[in-house]
Chains A and B, each alone.
Chain A
Amino acid sequence: MVAMADEDIFETTIAGRIMWFKKSSEGQLIALQRVLNRLRTQFSTAEDPVVRREAATKLGATVLDVAESRFVDPADRDWVEEQMLLGLVDIPEIMKIFSNGAVREEPQPDDAPPPAKKTAAKRSPKAAPAKKTANASRARR
Chain B
Amino acid sequence: MHPGRGVDVFQSVRPTQVRVVCFDTEWTLYPDSAYDWLGLLAADLEQLTGILPGGVCADQCEDMLRVALSHDDRDDRWTYAARVALGRAGGRDWWWVRNLARRCIQGWPYINGRLLLAGVNAKTLGFPEWLDAAYMLLWSAQEGKDQVLFDLELNRMPAGVAVRRDFSQIQAMGEAFAAD
A-to-B contact residues, CB < 8 Å: 2, 25-28, 30-32, 34-35, 38, 62, 65-66, 69
Contacts and interface: CB of A to CB of B under 8 A. Distances in A.
Contact of B53 (A2, A34, A38, A66): A34
Contacts of A26: 44, 47, 49
A25 B46 CA distance: 14
Interface residues of B, number: 19
Contacts, number: 47
B61 A35 contact: yes
A48 to B, nearest CB: 19
Nearest to B56: A34
A interface secondary structure, majority: helix
Contacts of B50: 30
B75 interface: yes
Contact of A31 (B44, B58, B64): B64
B39 to A, nearest CB: 13
Interface of B: 44, 47, 49-50, 52-54, 56, 58, 61-62, 64-65, 68-69, 72, 74-75, 78
16 contacts: A26-B44, A26-B49, A27-B68, A27-B74, A27-B75, A30-B50, A30-B53, A31-B53, A31-B56, A31-B61, A32-B65, A34-B56, A38-B58, A62-B62, A65-B69, A69-B69
A25 B74 contact: yes
A35 to B, nearest CB: 5
Leading 4 A-B pairs by shortest Cβ distance: A31-B53, A34-B61, A31-B65, A27-B49
Contact of A35 (B65, B72, B74, B78): B65
Contacts of B75: 25, 27
A35 B54 CA distance: 11
B49 A30 contact: yes
B78 to A, nearest CB: 5
B155 to A, nearest CB: 28
A114 B148 CA distance: 54
A35 B62 contact: yes
A34 B58 CA distance: 8
Contacts of B64: 31, 34
